[in-house]
Chain A
C-alpha cells in the first residue's frame, strides 16, 4: 500500500511537471506580449519592465527561473496587479471558489441520492421516466443559461436572492444551484444505472428471500454495492466543478479563482495563467489519488496495483 501511494505521488508530480512545462511553452508561443498596449510604451519603459520580469533573458533561463520559484512555492509576480504576487491572489481567491465548489457538490449529492434511488427502484415506471427526463434536461442546460434564468426569475422578478457578489447566504443560493445542477443530474443518472444492475444480482434475491425489509435491501445491500462507480467519477466531477466555476463566477460576479483566471487570459497575465493552471492540476491530481485510495477502502476486492 505505501509503495502504491508513493508511486502515485511520484506519478502525480510528473504530471504536474509536464503541465508546468507545457503551459510555459504555450504561453511563449502565444502572439502578443504582456505589456502590449494600444498606446505603445516608450522603449526605455519596455526595457525596464522586461528586465524586471527577466523577460530579456533567454527562454531556457526564464524557464529555470520559473521552476526554481515553483519549488519554493512562488508562482511569480502578476503582470496585471503590479504589486501582488500570483501566490497572494490565489490565496485570496481559492477559498471562495472552494466553498462554492463544496456547496455545489453537496447540493448535487443531496439531489442525486433520492432521485437516483427512486428511479432505479421503480425502474421502468413513470417515476423513472420523469427522473430520467429531468436528468437529461439538467445535463443539456448550459450553466450560463441556467444562471441567467435563475437571476432573471429569482433576483430580478421576485427579488428573493442577491444576483451578484459573494458574502451573505442569500448570495450563495443561486450560484450553488447553477453550479450543482449538471453534476446532480449526472450523479443521479449514474446512480440509477448502477443500482438497476445491482438490484438484479443474486445476493439481492437472497436478501429478499430471507425476509428482509425492502428498506434494508435497498439501503444496506444494494446501495453499499453501488457506491463505487459514484466514487470513480468524483475526479472528473471535480474537474467539471472547476470549469463550471469559471462560468458561474463570471455570471454572478464572484471574486473566485475562476474569474481571476478569465481576466488573466484577457489581460495576457502569463504568470497568473500558469499559476492557476498549476493549482487546478494539483487539485485534480490530488483528488484523483484520494478517490482511488477511497475506492480500495470501499471495495476491498480492488487491488491497489
Chain B
C-alpha cells in the first residue's frame, strides 16, 4: 500500500477534522437521496398540480410548491443529480485530460514544454465563465454538452499544476534511482512520479468540484445553462434558483431551498478541500 500513501494520510486527517467529516456525511447523504429520489418522494419530477400552486412549506410539501404546483423538495432532489453529476463528472474529466497533458509537458524537452504551455496560457488568459458560455453555444445546453464544455476549460488548472510538480520531481533522487535501475520513461512517469504528486492533485480536485457546481448553477441561473423541463435530467439547482428568482418578491421559499442546497454543497466541498490541504501542507493550519 506504499503507493497510496497520500490517500491514506487524507483518510486519517479527515477523521480528525470535524467540519470536514460532517461535510462528507452531508454530501454523501445528498448523493444518496438524489439517487433514490423517485422512492423518497411521492411526487413525480414533472407532476403538475393546479390546486397547490406556490404554497409555502408544509407537512405534505416540505419545501413548498412552485409556480406550477410541483413539489420543490422533489425538484431539489432531482436537481441534485444533475448538479452533482456535472460537478464530479467534469472534474474527473478535467483531472484526466489535465494530468496527462501536464505529465507530458513537464517531462518533455523544454522546447516542446514551452509550446504545450502556450495553449494553456491562452485558456488561462480568459475568464472561465466566458469560455463556458461560448463552448456551450456549440456543444449544447444539456448535461453532456455542459460537462464537456466545462471540462474543456478546467483541465488547464490540472495541466499547470501537474507540469509544475513534474518539473520538480524529475530532478529528484528517486527518479534518478529509477532510471539507474533501467526504468523507461513511461514507467518513471506513471509508476514513480505520478503517485508522488497525487497529493496536490487530489486537493485541487476537491476544490474543482465546488467550482464547477458553482459555474454550472450560475450558467443555469442566468439562463445559459441546463433548462429542459421535459427531461428528468433537464433541471439543475441553478435552473430551480432561476425559477424561484422570478417569484422571489412574493414567494421567497421557491428560491430559498435550491439556493441553500447549492450553498451548503459548495461549502461542504470547500471544508473538505481545506482539510485535505491542511494535511498536505500543514504550514498555515489553524491550531
Chain A residues proximal to chain B, CB less than 8 Å: 15, 18-19, 22-23, 26-27, 29-31, 123-124, 128-129, 132, 136-137, 139-145, 148-149, 151-152, 156, 192-193, 196-197, 239-240, 242-243, 246-247, 250-251, 261-262, 265-266, 273, 277, 280-281, 284-285, 288
B218-248 at interface with A (beta carbon < 8 Å): 218, 221-224, 241, 245, 248
B286 close to A129 (CB less than 8 A): yes
Contact of A144 among B126, B138, B241, B270 (CB under 8 A): B241
State which residues 111-132 of B face A: CB under 8 Å: 121-122, 125-130
Smallest beta-carbon distance A275→chain B, Å = 13
- Cβ-defined contact, A142 with B271, below 8 A: no
B7-22 vs A, CB cutoff 8 Å, 1 = contact: the mask equals 0000000000000000
How would you classify the secondary structure of chain B's contact residues: helix, strand, loop or mixed?
helix
Q: What 4 A-B pairs have minimum CB-CB distances, sorted nearest first?
A: A243-B129, A140-B267, A239-B127, A145-B259
One of B210, B223, B249, B252 near A262 (C-beta < 8 A): B223
Q: Which residues of A contact B50 (CB under 8 A)?
A: none
Residues on the B chain within 8 Å of A29, using CB: 138
B137 to chain A: which residues have CB within 8 Å?
Answer: 26-27, 30, 265, 273
| Cβ-defined contact, A148 with B263, below 8 A | no
With an 8 Å Cβ cutoff, the count of chain B residues facing the other chain is 39
**B262 at interface by CB-CB < 8 Å:** yes
A residues less than 8 Å from B271 (CB atoms): 136
In the bound complex, do residue A30 and residue B138 qualify as a contact, i.e. CB atoms below 8 Å apart?
Answer: yes
Task: Give chain B residues whose Cβ lies under 8 Å from the Cβ of A285.
Answer: 125
A45: shortest Cβ distance to chain B, in Å? 25
Residues of B within 8 A of A23 (CB): 134
**Chain B residues in contact with chain A, CB under 8 A?**
121-122, 125-130, 133-135, 137-138, 210, 214, 217-218, 221-224, 241, 245, 248-249, 252, 255, 259, 262-263, 266-267, 270-271, 274, 283-284, 286-287
Instruction: Report which of A148, A240, A262 forms a contact with B224, defined as CB distance below 8 A.
Output: A262
- Cβ B130 vs Cβ A242 within 8 A: yes
- Output the least CB separation between A22 and chain B (Å): 8
Query: Is there an interface contact between B130 and A277, defined as CB atoms closer than 8 Å?
Result: yes
B210 engages A288 (CB within 8 Å): no
Task: Give the chain A neighbours of B248 by CB distance below 8 A.
Answer: 148, 151-152, 156
Inside 8 A of A193's CB, which chain B residues have their CB?
284
Q: Is the CB of A156 within 8 A of B255?
A: no
Min Cβ gap B164→A in Å is 15
A197 x B121 contact (CB < 8 A): no
Instruction: Say whether A288 contacts B134, CB under 8 Å.
Output: no
Ordered by A's residue number, 21 sampled pairs between the chains whose C-beta atoms are within 8 Å are A15-B122, A26-B134, A29-B138, A123-B286, A136-B267, A140-B266, A140-B270, A144-B241, A144-B245, A145-B255, A148-B241, A156-B248, A192-B284, A197-B283, A240-B127, A242-B127, A246-B129, A247-B221, A262-B222, A262-B223, A277-B126
